[in-house]
Amino acid sequence: MPTQIAMHKVVPSRGEPAVSKLLIAKVVIIVLHAVGIVGLSIPEYQDWFLQLTPVQLLSSLLILLFFHRGWNDAFPIFAAAAFWIGFGAEIIGIHTGYLFGDYVYGPTLGPKLWDVPIIIGVNWFILSYTTGVLFRAIPNDIYAAILGATAMTALDYIIEPVAVALDMWAWKWEVIPLGNYAGWFGVSFLIHLIWRKANFEKENLVSNWLLMALIVFFTVLNFTLDI
In a domain, 126, yes or no: yes
**Is residue 1 pLDDT above 50, yes or no?**
no
Q: 209: domain range?
A: 23-224
pLDDT at 145: 97
**Is residue 136 pLDDT above 70, yes or no?**
yes
pLDDT at 19: 61
- Report the C-alpha gap between 189 and 133 in whole angstroms: 14
In a domain, 53, yes or no: yes
Specify the number of domains making up the chain.
1
Q: Can you give the pTM of this predicted structure?
A: 0.88
pLDDT at 174: 83
The strand pair at 112-113 and 116-117 is best described as antiparallel
Q: Torsion over CA of 183, 188, 191 and 195, rounded to 10 degrees? A: -170
Quick count: other Cβ atoms within 10 Å of Cβ 163?
A: 23
In a domain, 10, yes or no: no
- List pLDDT tens digits, range 161-182: 999 999 899 998 888 999 999 9
Tell me the pLDDT of the chain averaged across its residues.
90
* Sequence-ordered list of residues with C-beta below 8 angstroms from that of 69, at least 6 positions apart, any chain: 201, 203, 204
In a domain, 8, yes or no: no
pLDDT at 220: 96
Question: Which whole number is the average pLDDT over 105-118?
Answer: 92
Instruction: Tell how far CA 18 is from the center of its chain.
Output: 29
**Is residue 7 pLDDT above 60, yes or no?**
no
In a domain, 131, yes or no: yes
**Is residue 16 pLDDT above 60, yes or no?**
no
The strand pair at 103-105 and 112-113 is best described as unpaired
In a domain, 64, yes or no: yes
In a domain, 9, yes or no: no
Alpha-helical segments (H) within 135-226? 141-165, 178-197, 207-224
- List pLDDT tens digits, range 52-100: 999 999 999 999 999 999 899 999 999 999 999 999 999 999 999 899 9
In a domain, 14, yes or no: no
**Is residue 227 pLDDT above 80, yes or no?**
no
Question: Which whole number is the average pLDDT over 24-50?
Answer: 93
